[in-house]
Amino acid sequence: MDSSKLPEGDTTCQVFMIDTGCNMVAASKVLIEPAWTGHEYLNLPTYSWLIINGKTGEHILFDLGMRKDWENSTPTIVKTVKAALPGINVENDVPSVLKANDIDLEKISAAILSHWHFDHTGDMSLFPKSTKGVFGPDWKKNFGTFYPENQDSVYHAYEFEGREVVELEAKVFDKEIAGLKAFDYFGDGSMYLLHSPGHTTEHMTAFVRTTIGQNGEDDTFMLLGGDSCHFPGVLRPTEANPIPETFTRSSETKLPDSVSLPCPCTLWTNHHPRVQEKDQSCKTPFYVPSTDAGSFYLDQPQALETISKLQALDANPNVFVTIAHDPTLGEILPKLESGQTVNDWKEKKYKSKAMWGWLKELPRDGTPGTTPLVDGQYQGGKKIMNLENLGR
């Protein structure tokens, strides 16, 4: 399907952003490439989404962030976190955020998990048994046995005991949006799950109708991208969505306070890590997913294929593409506790404000970008290890 041709429908969902309370710092080389001096680490706040069907009122969650007591995850996960995340502090969890905002957990019919990684699966045991877990294709084959029966499992058996677990088989993704196989989750066109593999085999994104336009046209959508990529500079810029030549005071994008406006985009594009040609630097993504030996991408070529399809959607003015770990989202979008949805993203210009905000994370004029989000590893609010070897 042409990415400019979006599915028709007459039902929307309310979409609320949840700050899961999980903040991480990871080595860039396991998530993005090429290497760039001054950008050796990525800041990774973690966001999930409460989605409410506009007709039925059904509540679902898309992703759960990380369990607050991550040290009580399965041994495989604890080992991975300690080795791969020099900075981590989990100050809250999704069930607590929901309850603090007077949302009864009994209302949550399903937790749709974009993929199996620990910073998206939370702790299902904190939800009532009526909340089912929903996973993408081949999840059971790869991850459907639990600890302690399977000592290498990423899930505790107690999280799913007595709980419905749904694996969406490939055959149910019988529609297509922007070249990605799609499943109409509610059956009313208000939210589609898109099979978006590459980072993992079962990875899914959510495509949610946020407003209805006039005469069946100009409906708006949000693409909740999970871990399709881990840094917006993998998605942007592109030929269809180039960096503007100049950022002015009227620009919506949130740039570093130290940058005087107006400023040219060449502050960043002159140091583009992938291309040197000026005419290409403003329309070539700064990064691609990592191929490092320790990469968190299972299939980098497949990830690139998925990303190319999201890039086409990103260039559509009626689609707001987000990823789970974009620091700019937390600065711009209203969170659940505000009581505000993000459905009016186009009217509020959230997309344009977030579009190039990631530039502030990058080095410029020989100086590093923003400081690390977390200064070490924390357990239960106590630091157990300092963030070392930043290479800066």
Which of 103, 102, 134, 130 minimizes the C-alpha distance to 121?
134
- Alpha carbon 378 to its chain centroid, in Å, reads 22
pLDDT digit string (tens) for the chain, length 392 residues? 455 689 999 999 999 999 999 999 999 999 999 999 999 999 999 999 999 999 999 999 999 999 999 999 999 999 999 999 999 999 999 999 999 999 999 999 999 999 999 999 999 999 999 999 999 998 887 777 899 999 999 999 999 999 999 999 999 999 999 999 999 999 999 999 999 999 999 999 999 999 999 876 799 999 999 999 999 999 999 999 999 999 987 777 878 877 888 989 998 999 999 998 988 999 999 999 999 999 999 999 999 999 999 999 999 999 999 999 999 999 999 999 999 999 999 999 999 999 999 999 998 876 778 889 999 999 999 999 998 754 43
Residue 61 phi/psi, 5-degree rounding, is: -115, 140
What does the pLDDT read at residue 2? 57
pLDDT for res 42: 96
Radius of gyration of the chain (CA): 20
User: Which among 173, 70, 74, 171 is positioned nearest to 119, based on CA atoms?
Assistant: 70
Alpha-carbon distances, residue 140 vs 67, 97, 125, 134 (angstroms): 21, 29, 19, 11
Contact assessment for residue 28 and residue 40, using Cβ atoms and an 8 Å cutoff: yes
* Alpha carbons 209 and 269: distance in angstroms, whole number: 34
Show the CA angle centred on residue 359, arms to residues 354 and 360, nearest 5°.
95
Q: Which two tokens stand for residue 107?
A: 């209302």
pLDDT at 253: 81
Q: Which residues contact 97 (CB under 8 A, 6 or more apart)?
A: 18, 19, 20, 21, 336, 337
- Other C-beta atoms closer than 10 Å to the C-beta of 215 total 5
- Asked if 342 and 322 count as a contact pair (C-beta separation under 8 A), the reply is no
C-alpha 211: how far from its chain's center? Answer: 21
What sections of 103-257 are H helices per DSSP?
118-121, 139-143, 232-235
Q: Answer for the pair 249, 327: CB distance below 8 angstroms, yes or no.
A: no
State the maximum Cα–Cα separation within the chain, in Å, rounded to a whole number.
Answer: 60
Residue with tokens 């994008």: 253
The reported pTM is: 0.95
State residue 133 phi and psi, 5-degree precision: -100, 130
Specify the CATH number of the domain 13-231+288-345: 3.60.15.10
Residues comprising the chain, all counted: 392
Contact residues for 293 (Cβ-Cβ < 8 A; gap 6+):
none
Predicted confidence at residue 367, as pLDDT, reads 76
Domain residue ranges in the chain: 13-231+288-345
How far, in Å, CA of 115 to CA of 203, rounded? 5
**CA–CA dist 115, 136 (Å, integer):** 7
